[in-house]
């Protein structure tokens, strides 16, 4: 089953690209300091946005988040790595399954990024960001789990996208950061053991 990009997401992409094109025209008139500041803000916003998309398991927005991740935010190598780790769903049927499961469980999540800081100067073409925050999982609208997360995301400015950054690597994000650690279940055998040494 193919997931179509919504009109809203197309408009968001057009607005983002239009803003970046406008910035590129203005760049010739700006001081190096101003350019560096804008580059920092662009990459920081990107780090926050991608983190929210990576952790998004809200049935209303997961399709759009996955389309952004796979369509423009992550490199192919990064997509392959995160898919293998089960951090991002495979496009198509996996997204449909995620949505269906979340709807059945009346579950959604809210991602709060509390910090996104560059580990190296932004004047480098490739910059790692330390991103941290919390993933709040809600069931029937009420908080069920609060999962703190901390990850390192490496962004690279891409000339082919007029200086728009792409994520080339993500480290420190696990399946548990998205869903939480499942509660241990007691087996019948464990329940039957009442004496020590058995």
Q: What is the DSSP string of 10-78?
A: HHHHHHHHHHHHHHHHHGGGS-HHHHHHHHHHHHHHHHHHHHHHHH---TTTHHHHHHHIIIIIB-HHH
- Whole-angstrom CA distances from 8 to 39, 70, 155, 164 are 26, 17, 25, 20
List, in order of start, the domains of the chain with CATH numbers. Answer: 7-180 (3.10.450.230)
Q: Is 136 exposed, middle or buried (CB count within 10 Å of its CB: 0-12, 13-18, 19+)?
A: middle
Give, for all 198 residues of the chain, the pLDDT tens digit.
444 555 555 555 555 555 555 555 545 567 777 877 888 888 899 999 999 999 999 999 999 999 999 999 999 999 999 999 889 988 778 889 999 989 999 999 999 999 999 988 776 778 999 999 999 999 999 989 999 999 999 999 766 555 678 999 999 998 888 887 654 444 444 444 444 444
Q: How far apart are CA 44 and CA 69, in angstroms?
A: 16
């Amino acid at each position: 089953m193919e997931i179509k990009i919504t009109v809203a997401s197309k408009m968001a992409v057009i607005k983002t690209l239009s803003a970046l094109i406008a910035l590129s025209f203005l760049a010739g008139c700006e001081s190096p300091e101003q350019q560096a500041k804008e580059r920092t803000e662009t990459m920081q916003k990107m780090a926050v946005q991608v983190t929210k998309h990576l952790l998004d398991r809200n049935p209303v927005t997961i399709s759009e988040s996955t389309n952004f991740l796979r369509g423009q935010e992550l490199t192919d190598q990064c997509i392959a790595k995160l898919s293998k780790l089960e951090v991002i769903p495979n496009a198509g049927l996996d997204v449909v399954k995620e949505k269906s499961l979340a709807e059945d469980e009346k579950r959604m999540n809210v991602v709060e990024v509390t910090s996104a800081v560059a580990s190296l100067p932004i004047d480098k073409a490739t910059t790692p960001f330390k991103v941290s925050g919390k993933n709040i999982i809600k069931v029937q609208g009420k908080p069920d789990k609060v999962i703190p997360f901390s990850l390192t995301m490496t962004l690279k400015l891409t000339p082919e996208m007029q200086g728009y950054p792409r994520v080339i690597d993500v480290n420190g994000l696990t399946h548990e950061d998205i869903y939480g650690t499942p509660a241990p279940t007691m087996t019948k055998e464990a329940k039957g053991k009442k004496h020590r040494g058995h």
